[in-house]
Structure formats: structure tokens, C-alpha cells
């Protein structure tokens, strides 16, 4: 299936105008700091303190003022409304496989991935501030942050409230990204789970599997080209938007933790997430990782799982188990 490739267009225009691992399956996670202490001084500088996956709009605005790159992960139709100068369009599909049903999976070629990211001006040591459409999007900003972290970018963060919140914080322009960044891929496996590993563990008592889709999809609806409907046996239904307010901001942390406890998750519980193509589940992964949970995203998700032999990769139809 062919898909639009906005990155290719962006790179072509840039050329014309000369725009100047082996971690354990369930690793231990250090709970995040309550305060974002990112600090950068110049290109190539590193984040000095703290490790956050999500930052508030004021913290993001400070980082932008210090020179962080802004990646606009909203759907391409929204790129016509650009209120932040020099924000770089970022389409997650540019970094994913094109062969269905594996379109949720990251490209396997690390050299190609690095070239694509460098062409956007992404540096290893410079924070990447990712914004999405927090009210009408599908969690594309979370997918971008999960991907960048998985590929070794230690300072990729998502803005609470998305693009509109960053604009409301007074950000009108970001620094012009370099023509070519210096990012190199160094994959980290701790935030990813593959199909066979999930298949071997979905009925295990030591992991909770979260289905980030709607309750209708969980029960069997197939609105996004899934071969079969239903959910992974034992998975708990937790639509990712349960953690968002109507304005697109995260609900209070206490509410998130309370909801997780309702589905059997405490801070020490290993978690696996999935959705249709690893986007909504990546967003959920980012939120949970920011809170210090041990969590892995199944990028192949239902596209891949439902296309596999049902005897080995079963699905259950119906409401919550």
C-alpha cells in the first residue's frame, strides 16, 4: 500500500533552497524526577540533569529558547497552520516499514534511519521537543518520542497539551535546525516488545498487557484494516485517551495511577502495550515511562498479530475479561 511521504518532499525542498543493546526483557526503571532540569548551551551540548519523557509547556518553551529542535508530529493536513517558525514536520510513517501487515514496525536499517533523522537536523545531544495534536490526533507525538528513545536519543520529550499548548506558552519560533544533524542510531530494547515475546508471555501472571484502543476495537471491531477483530487474551482495555482531558492535557498523576491500579498495575508491574499499529500504544508507553513504570510497546500491534496464524496468536472477542 502506498502512503504519502511528506518527508521526501521536505528534503527535496531543503536541497533546492540549501537549508543552511541487550537489555533484560523487563528492566528496572528509575522513577522520574518531579522537575525537568534540561539545560543546553550550544549545539552538541547535552542535557545536564533529569530524565523526563513529558514536559510542561513552560519547560518546553525554555528548552526551545535555549536552542532545542521542535518536531511537529501532527498529521500532515495540519501543517498548513504553522505558528511556530522552524518547527520541523515529523511523520512517523517515514521511519516505519511499508509492507503490510508490518507497517507499525520500525525500519530495520539503522543507517537509513540515521540518515533520515540527520536530514531533519536532529542531533544526539540536543533536546528534541515533540508536539502533536492533543485533541484530535492519535498520539503521533508519543510515537515519535518512543521511536527516538528506542533509537538512542536520550533527550526526546513530548509536550503536555501538544502544539497548541506550546503556542499558548508563547513559543512563536524555534532555532533553525542544522542542515544535517549528527544523530546516530544506538538501539535500546527496553521499551519494545516483539510479537513472539508477547505471545510467550501474554498469559503470564507477571506482566499486564494493555490494549490502548477503543472499547469497540477491543471487543472485536476492525476499523483499521485488521485481518481479525478482538484482543490479545488477558489484555486489559485502557483507551489511551482516558489519560487526557478534553483540552488535550494529561489528567492528574494521581488519577493515572488510580486507573492503573484498577487494571492490576502497581509501580513494580511489568507492562506491555499495543493498539493497531503501535501509535496509540507508543503514546501510552511514553506516559507510563514518564511515571517510572516498566513498560514496552508492541509496535507491530494488531495489524501484525491478527495476520498471524490464529492457533499461535489467538484473539478473544467481547468485553473486558
DSSP 242: G
Q: Assess whether the region 6-10+21-168 and the region 195-305 belong to the same CATH fold.
A: yes
| pLDDT value for 151 | 98
In which band, very low, low, confident or very high, does the pLDDT at 204 lie, cut at 50, 70 and 90?
Answer: confident
Mean pLDDT of 183-189: 98
DSSP 86: T
| pLDDT value for 243 | 99
CATH number belonging to the domain at 195-305, selected among 3.40.50.20, 3.40.250.10, 1.10.10.10, 3.40.50.410: 3.40.250.10
Q: What is the pTM of this model?
A: 0.85
In which band, very low, low, confident or very high, does the pLDDT at 135 lie, cut at 50, 70 and 90?
Answer: very high
Q: Taking 50 as the threshold, does the pLDDT of residue 4 lie above it?
A: no
| pLDDT value for 44 | 34
| pLDDT value for 78 | 59
| pLDDT value for 85 | 96
> Above pLDDT 90, what percent of the chain?
77
The three cell numbers locating residue 253: 498523576
Note whether 276 and 103 are within 8 A (CB).
no
- Indicate the range of 9-18, 191-200, 208-217, 261-270 predicted with least confidence: 9-18
With a CB cutoff of 8 Å and minimum separation 6, the contacts of 86 are: 70, 173, 174, 175, 176, 177
Q: Taking 70 as the threshold, does the pLDDT of residue 12 lie above it?
A: no
| pLDDT value for 51 | 78
**For the chain, which residues make up each domain, given as ranges?**
6-10+21-168, 195-305
**Exposure string for 68-97, b = 16+ CB within 10 A, e = fewer:** bbbbbbbeeeeeeeeebeebbbbbbbbbbb
Q: What is the pLDDT of residues 60-103, one digit of tens each?
A: 999 999 999 999 999 877 555 778 999 999 999 999 999 999 99
| pLDDT value for 163 | 97
Q: What is the pLDDT of residues 23-58, one digit of tens each?
A: 333 333 333 333 344 443 333 333 324 579 999 999
In which band, very low, low, confident or very high, does the pLDDT at 269 lie, cut at 50, 70 and 90?
Answer: very high
DSSP 82: -
- Which class would CATH give 6-10+21-168? alpha beta
Instruction: Rounding to the nearest 10 degrees, give the CA dihedral for residues 132, 136, 138, 140.
Output: -10
Amino acid at each position: 500500500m502506498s502512503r504519502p511521504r511528506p518527508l521526501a518532499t521536505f528534503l527535496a525542498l531543503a536541497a533546492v533552497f540549501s537549508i543552511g543493546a541487550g537489555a533484560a526483557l523487563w528492566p528496572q526503571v528509575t522513577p522520574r524526577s518531579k522537575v525537568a532540569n534540561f539545560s543546553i548551551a550550544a549545539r552538541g551540548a547535552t542535557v545536564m540533569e533529569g530524565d523526563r519523557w513529558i514536559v510542561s509547556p513552560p519547560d518546553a518553551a525554555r528548552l526551545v529558547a535555549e536552542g532545542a529542535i521542535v518536531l511537529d508530529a501532527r498529521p500532515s493536513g495540519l501543517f498548513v497552520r504553522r505558528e511556530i517558525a522552524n518547527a520541523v514536520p515529523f511523520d512517523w510513517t517515514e521511519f516505519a516499514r511499508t509492507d503490510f501487515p508490518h507497517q507499525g514496525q520500525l525500519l530495520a536499517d539503522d543507517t537509513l534511519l540515521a540518515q533520515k533523522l540527520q536530514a531533519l537536523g536532529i542531533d544526539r545531544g540536543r533536546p528534541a521537543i515533540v508536539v502533536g495534536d492533543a485533541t484530535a490526533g492519535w498520539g503521533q507525538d508519543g510515537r515519535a518520542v518512543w521511536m527516538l528513545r528506542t533509537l538512542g536519543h536520550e533527550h526526546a520529550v513530548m509536550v503536555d497539551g501538544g502544539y497548541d499548548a506550546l503556542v499558548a506558552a508563547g513559543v512563536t519560533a524555534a532555532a533553525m535546525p542544522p542542515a544535517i544533524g549528527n544523530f546516530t542510531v544506538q538501539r535500546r530494547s527496553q521499551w519494545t516488545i516483539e510479537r513472539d515475546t508477547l505471545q510467550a508471555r501474554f498469559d503470564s501472571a507477571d506482566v499486564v498487557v494493555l490494549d490502548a484502543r477503543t472499547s469497540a476495537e477491543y471487543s472485536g471491531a476492525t476499523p483499521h484494516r485488521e485481518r481479525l477483530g478482538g484482543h490479545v487474551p488477558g489484555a486489559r482495555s485502557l483507551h489511551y485517551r482516558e489519560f487526557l482531558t478534553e483540552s488535550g492535557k494529561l489528567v492528574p498523576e494521581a488519577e493515572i495511577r488510580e486507573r492503573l491500579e484498577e487494571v492490576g498495575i502497581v509501580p513494580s508491574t511489568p507492562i506491555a502495550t499495543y493498539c493497531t499499529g503501535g501509535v496509540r500504544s507508543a503514546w501510552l508507553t511514553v506516559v507510563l515511562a514518564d511515571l517510572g513504570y516498566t513498560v514496552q510497546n508492541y509496535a507491530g500491534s494488531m495489524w501484525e498479530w491478527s495476520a498471524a496464524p490464529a492457533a499461535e496468536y489467538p484473539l478473544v472477542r467481547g468485553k473486558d475479561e
